Every structure is written in structure tokens, then in C-alpha cells.
Amino acid sequence: MFLLPRRSATGFLVAVLAGVASCGIGGNSRDIPPAPTAAPPSAQVFAYVAEATAPPFGTDGGAVSLYQIGSDGLLPGGPPLASIPAVNPRRLFKHPVLDVLYVATQNQILAFDISGGGLVSLCGGSGPALAPPCATAPRLEADPIEIVVEPNPAGDGFVLYVVERGGGFQLSDIVAYALDDDGGLPNFPTSFARASNAIFYLGFATAGEFGYGADPNRGGYDRFDLLADGNFPDPAPTPTISGQPTPVNTPTPVGEVPTPTPAFYFLDDTGPAKTIRVNPPAPNPPDSPGLLYTLVQAGPRIGSLPIDGGGNLPLQPSSQSPTRGIYNEFLVSFTVNRIYGAGFQIGQIDSFAIAPDGTIDRDSLSTTFPNTAQYPTGLAYFEQTTSTGEFRRTMLVSLGGFNRVDAYEIAADGTIASLPFSSTEPRPGVFPSDVLVLVVE
């Protein structure tokens, strides 16, 4: 993910942003399942914030901080409940079934036990531990920009995938770490994928037996085969677009790691960046393993793409939002049938209605009041019954420009309020890069 250092000189920051815009903004998103997420009055709600210092350039400083949201639904004043050092954390992701939080830092992935709303290393103790199962080995110049945890095709385990931008002239990789039964990390990747030409991945999602890497440089997706355990093949041919010959893999040279040969799908130069896979109530077509939602870099806008039964993608999105701004993160909620995007450069949160077939209603825009100085970076959605009996839907937004997290009310139809109703106190010297919510009942 591209994030920028906090500077007192606004003009400098704007100039840097202009340069970053040409490369696109990537990020990670949480998919909200089509099931109730309301917290009863007795529940506790916790917010985890990745607090970077100078992403992606800094090599020290930064933390993951923990806040408890009040029973009245308001964000707390004062300092966080807990804070653990992490080198310029960029993205947060919770294990789908375990209370384990994964953090992408400058050159490695960390794992924390967050059961009961806590924040401790998965290895125990009050500080970060830098070895398995609570951390991967550092990968110099990996520069991770996205993490996602997905069940493997066999359904008997989970895999953490990391999109590594790489440094210098290094090609970006999609790295797989097979997690243990407790959500623990291995020391080294269990497999990785890299295409043979100039790749610059910004997003990755899986659907069935396939993985999809979004490559804005070439304006399309690489589709990779996945083994039953969720790893990339070693190597195995992957069918290409219909009508084109299947590539033949050459033997892997001694001393090199074998990687699969991907199929590439052009999307009419729309330049996909971040991508997530969801299973809407009525996927289109019926035999599809789901839809891909993508941040379209060249738009910039959000698009949806149906996956057919063979894992193939169309050449154009089936629906797209209007051209708005470069989104740093987005999430999909089928509890209110809306898709939300954090407009990094336009300084506001956009949302659009989602039809029953998963397409985006481009005429249903709901947006917050714009402020180009706030730089929204991360989104987290939750529902809560407050101590006064009020049922409230809330969107938390981490704001790199304001050094804080804001809370916005979400209406019953999924539209977002224009102004926040609550905020944390600013934390001078940090750049909040992501936020994640945990509800403890």
C-alpha cells in the first residue's frame, strides 16, 4: 500500500501525492458476510489502529494501538488502552475464525492474540516477538502493501497471502504462508508466484481453486492455479484465455524456486489495483464462485467482475461506479447492500448501493463532507446496540492527515452521514494507516 509521511509542509505532501497518483493506491479490505453483525448491549467493541510514522520510507518507529469503544458508541478520549511497537505498519487483517490479528510492517508480517479485546504477541508477552509463530522472517525490500487470509480450496486450513511490492527493479511477488491450526505464521513462505515480465501487483483475491493478482501496469489480472492446500503450484500449467494455447512450463533451474505460469486477462486498460472477492446473495452467473470487486486505477472508480464457472473473467467490469478519486481501501457490506471506498486524495468516503446480482448502482452515491487534508486510509464497519438501547451502524475511518480515527453513522439504507459523530484524540507524529474492529460478546 502506498502511504505517505506526515509533514508539516502541506505543499510538500500535496506534491508527493501527485507523484503517487500515477502509481495508484492499493490496500486491503474486510469482506462483511451477509449475516447479522449486531452487538448486544453487553458486548464490548474494540478498535485496532495501525500507526505508521513515515510509510513506506521509514525503517523504524510505529505501533499497533488498541482502543475500546464506549457502551454509548463513542470513541474514547485520551491515550489508547495498549500500544505495541511495529515498524511502520501498513495493513491489518483478522483471521476469519480465530482471534488473531495480522499486521503488515516494513518487511515482515506479525501476529497478535486479540482474544477478549486484548493485544499481545501470539507468542505471549507484552512486546512484539520476531520469530514463528508470531512473526515471519524479515524479507528485505519486500515492502508488503496488502495482506489477506483465505481458506484453502480443500477447506481444511487457511493461507495468508502477501502482496510484496519489492524494491528497486525487483518484480513484485504474491507470497503464500500456510498458517498452523492456531493461526501461527511460518518462518518462510510456503510458496510464491511471480509472472515472467514487469509485474506490479497491488491486490490479490482467491475464488475456488484460483487466485487473481491485480496488475495496474498491464491493465488486467493474472489468474493463478491454487493447490488444495492453497499454495501455488510447483509448477503446473494454467489455462489461458479461451482460444489461446496453454503455456508449457520449462524445468526450473537448479537453485531457483518454481512458480506457476499465469493466465492474463486484459480489462481494456482499466488498470485494476486493489481487488477483493465476495459471494453476494445472488452471484452472476449462477455457477460462479463469486464476484471480484476491484479498484479501477485508470478511472478512478470501483468495478465488479463476475467469475464464470471456469474461473475466467470478462474483458470489462459488469458494473462500475462513476469516476471519483483514487480509493485507498474499500469494503463491501451485504448487511446494508453497499460498497464503501476511502477516497485518499479527495478526502471523503463514498458509498454505492449494490443490486441483488452484485452490480454497483452508479446513481446511488452517498458521501461524506470532503476535506482533502485528512487522507482517509482504512475502513471498518460494525453494528452495536448502545447502553441506551439505540441500534447504531458505524463506519470507522483512519485518517492519516489528522492523526486520528473518526466514526460516521450509517443509516438503515447504508448511506453514510456527511460528518463524523465521534473521534479519537489526535496522536501527534503518527500516520494512521488502517483500522480494524473486533466485537466481543
* Position 196 in a domain: yes
* Position 4 in a domain: no
For the chain, state the CA radius of gyration.
20
Cis ω for the linkage preceding 56 (within 30 of 0): yes
CATH of the domain at 348: 2.130.10.10
* Position 335 in a domain: yes
Neighbour tally for 11: CB within 10 Å: 8
- pLDDT at residue 305 greater than cutoff 70: yes
* Position 3 in a domain: no
Summarize pLDDT for 153-209 with one digit per residue, the tens: 999 999 999 988 765 555 678 889 999 999 999 998 888 886 545 567 778 888 888
Summarize pLDDT for 89-139 with one digit per residue, the tens: 989 999 999 999 999 998 899 999 999 999 999 987 655 567 889 999 988
The pLDDT score that the predictor gives to residue 55 is: 56
Number of domains observed in the structure of the chain:
1
User: pTM of whole model > 0.75?
Assistant: yes
State the average pLDDT for the chain. 78
* Position 1 in a domain: no
Residue 318 has φ and ψ, to the nearest 5°, of -75, -20
Amino acid at 415: T
* Position 212 in a domain: yes
* Position 249 in a domain: no
| Residue span of the structural domain in which 94 resides | 10-242+257-440
Query: CA-based angle 318:320:322, to the nearest 5?
Result: 160
* Position 250 in a domain: no
The pLDDT score that the predictor gives to residue 32 is: 36
For residue 416, give the DSSP letter.
Answer: B
Torsion on CA atoms 91, 95, 96, 97, rounded to nearest 10: -160
Percent of the chain with pLDDT over 90: 38
